Chain A
Amino acid sequence: MKEEENFIRVRSSRKVYFPVYLMILILVFTIGFAKFNGKEVSNLALRLVVFFSAACIAVTEIHRLANYYEINSGSLVTSKGIFSKTTRRVDLISVSDADSDQNVWQRLLNYGDVNVRLFSKESTVLVKNINNPSGFVDFLEGKMAEKKGTKNS
Chain B
Amino acid sequence: MEIEYVHNKKKNKKFYLKLGLFFAFVGIFSLIIYTSFYGGFGFTGSVVSESSLVGNSEQKTIDLNAELTSPELDLSGFFEKVEISGGGESYLEIGDQKFYLGNSNGNYIILNDYDGQIAFDGKILSNLKGRASEIIINGISMSSQSKDTSKVNLQSPFNYKLLELGNQVQIKKVSYTASGKVNLDNGKNEISITDEQITMGGFKGHIKSANENIILSGKIQSLDISGETKIHVDV
The answer to the question of B233 belonging to the interface, with a C-beta cut-off of 8 Å to chain A, is no
The interface-forming segment of B22-30, B119-127, B178-186, B206-214 is B22-30
User: Looking at chain A's contact residues, is the secondary structure mostly helix, strand, loop, or mixed?
Assistant: helix
Query: Which residues on the B side are within 8 Å of A34 (C-beta)?
Result: 32, 36-37
28 contacts between A and B (CB under 8 A): A20-B21, A23-B22, A27-B25, A27-B28, A27-B29, A27-B32, A30-B29, A30-B33, A31-B32, A31-B36, A34-B36, A34-B37, A39-B37, A40-B35, A40-B36, A40-B173, A41-B36, A42-B32, A42-B36, A42-B40, A44-B31, A45-B32, A45-B36, A48-B28, A48-B31, A49-B28, A52-B24, A56-B21
Report Cα–Cα, A28/B37, bound state, in Å. 15
A65 to B16: give the CA distance in the assembly, Å: 22
Chain A residues positioned under 8 Å from B37 (CB to CB): 34, 39
Interface status of A145 (Cβ within 8 A of chain B): no
Task: Give complex CA distance A23, B37 in Å.
Answer: 19
Which residues of chain A have C-beta atoms less than 8 A from B33's C-beta? 30
In chain B, residues 36-73, which have Cβ atoms closer than 8 Å to a Cβ of chain A?
A: 36-37, 40
B32 touches A49 (CB 8 A): yes
Judge whether A26 is part of the interface by a CB distance below 8 angstroms.
Answer: yes
For window 70-106 of B, CB contacts with A under 8 Å fall at none
Q: Output the nearest chain A residue to B28 by Cβ-Cβ distance.
A: A48
Please measure, in the bound complex, the distance between the C-alpha atom of A30 and the C-alpha atom of B109, giving whole angstroms.
47
By size class, the interface of chain B is 10 to 19
A23 to B22, CA, bound (A): 8
Residues of A within 8 A of B24 (CB): 52
- Residues of B near any A CB (own CB < 8 A): 21-22, 24-25, 28-29, 31-33, 35-37, 40, 173
A45→B21 contact, CB < 8 A: no
Query: Which B residues are in CB contact (< 8 Å) with A45?
Result: 28, 31-32, 35-36
| Residues of A in contact with B (beta carbons under 8 Å apart) | 20, 23, 26-27, 30-31, 34, 39-42, 44-45, 48-49, 52, 56
Find the residue from A20, A44, A45, A56 having the highest chain B CB count within 10 A: A45
> Is A26 a contact partner of B40 (Cβ separation < 8 A)?
no
Closest 9 pairs between A and B when the two form their complex, measured CB to CB: A34-B36, A42-B35, A39-B36, A23-B25, A45-B32, A48-B28, A45-B31, A30-B32, A41-B36
Assembly CA distance A148 to B98 (angstroms) = 93
Most A CB within 10 A of own CB, among B32, B35, B37: B32
Whether A26 pairs with B36 at a CB distance below 8 angstroms is no
Q: Tell me if A42 and B31 are in contact (CB < 8 A).
A: yes
Instruction: Quote the shortest CB–CB distance from A118 to chain B (angstroms).
Output: 18
Q: How far is the CA of A56 from the CA of B22 in the complex (A)?
A: 11
Q: How far is the CA of A42 from the CA of B47 in the complex (A)?
A: 13
Q: In the bound complex, how far is the Cα of B36 from the Cα of A30, in angstroms? A: 10
Residue of B nearest to A51 (CB): B28
C-alpha gap A153/B24 in the complex (Å) = 60
Tell me the complex Cα distance, A44–B30, Å: 12
Residues of A within 8 A of B173 (CB): 40
A52–B29 alpha-carbon span in the complex (Å) = 11
Alpha-carbon separation in the docked complex, A56 to B18 (Å)? 11
Rounded to whole Å, the gap between the CB of A124 and the closest CB of chain B is 14
Residues of B contacting A42 in the complex (Cβ-Cβ under 8 angstroms): 31-32, 35-36, 40
List A contacts of B25 (CB < 8 A). 23, 26-27, 52
A-chain residues with CB within 8 Å of residue B40 when the two chains form the complex: 40, 42
Contacts of B21 in A (CB 8 A): 20, 23, 56
Give B18's nearest chain A residue, CB to CB: A19
